[in-house]
Amino acid sequence: MKIASYNVNGIRAAINKGFIDWLKATNPDVICLQEIKAMAEQLNLDLFKDAGYEYNYWFSAQKKGYSGTAILCKNQPKNIEFGTGIESMDFEGRNLRVDYDNVSVMSMYLPSGTNDARLSHKFEYMNLIHNYLNDLQKEYPNLVVCGDYNICHEEIDIHNPKMKGVSGFLPEEREWLGDFIDSGFIDSYRYLHPEKQEFSWWSYRANARANNKGWRLDYAMVSEPLQEKIKRSVILTEAVHSDHCPILLELDI
Q: Active-site residue numbers?
A: 148
CB 183 within 8 Å of CB 200: no
CB 144 within 8 Å of CB 226: yes
SS3 12: helix
Q: In Å, how far are 144, 146, 186, 211, 233 from 250, measured between CA atoms?
A: 11, 12, 14, 29, 6
Cβ-based neighbour number of residue 91 at 10 Å? 13
Compute the chain's Rg from CA coordinates: 17
SS3 39: coil
Cα(33)–Cα(146) distance, rounded to whole angstroms?
Answer: 9
Cα(32)–Cα(143) distance, rounded to whole angstroms?
Answer: 14
SS3 133: helix
β-sheet bridge partners, residue 7: 34
